[in-house]
Structure 1
Amino acid sequence: MALSEGQGYGMYINVLAAENGWGKEKNFERLNNFYLAHRERIAKTTTGLMSWRMIEKRGKWKVDKNSATDGDVFIAEALLKASKIWHNEQFKDEARTLMNDILRYEYNPQTNTLTVGNWANSKSKFYNLMRTSDVIPEFFDDFYQETGDQR
């Protein structure tokens, strides 16, 4: 089983290791490829959001619909850091797509906070729920520096 939170943590740990000369771009690319292969589709469009859970059975991955914001936030930060460490524009483009989709699908404009996932929309009783694992001020500072978007 793989969860988007674990995927985000793995990608983030890899770039932290790379900042110290231990992580390799090849390893990050393998993690990134798994993320790219398991993104959410909404209205027949592939988003930057990662599906929150994948289960491997008999060599095939069964993907559960919906996203989990904490995983997406860690993945976005990891991609941003990776783009700077390895001077890779593809990682930067992927980070920007993911940051935009976080705001498009996982953001509550009434409370100016992130929701717990794309499934917690305005019709959900969880729309106003805020989870501490979705709030990482250092990451939001980096997102603002990259985009200029104060949300």
Structure 2
Amino acid sequence: MEIEFRNARREDVARIVEMLADDKLGRERERFETPLPASYYAAFSSIDSDPNNELILACLDGEIVGVQQVTFTPYLTHQGGWRATIEGIRTASSVRGQGIGRQLIGFAIERAKARGCHLVQLTTDIQRPEALRFYEQLGFSATHEGMKLKL
């Protein structure tokens, strides 16, 4: 399966939100409707203008079938090293289980290496045990306990 990776464009936002909303948790927090809420386009503009953020699409035969956001962050820890954080990973329900998620993560790891990162990190919701197993199969380790505070 020949997957092409590219940076997202403004005209891709609706398809991205559609994929983000296409699971139990996504349906609870996303608003895939016409027209899309302006907040999605505002977020896209911020991501697109930030050189330390990449919104990456996976395309199959010209169709968007996957998305992920990769954020590159400098830290004082680890001797001032950079790390990459992968977020918002989704594959289209029509192609799940076909290796596209694996290729997306692999692409993000290569981008992190190219940017000189010493670490790639991601989080997954505890309500998604299958995602945890998937990331472990790719070599990720659950070394930290994460916490969030909703505002």
TM-score scaled by length of structure 1: 0.34
Whose helix proportion is higher, 1 or 2? 1
Whose strand proportion is higher, 1 or 2? 2
Q: Which has the higher contact order (CA 8 A, sep 6+)?
A: 1
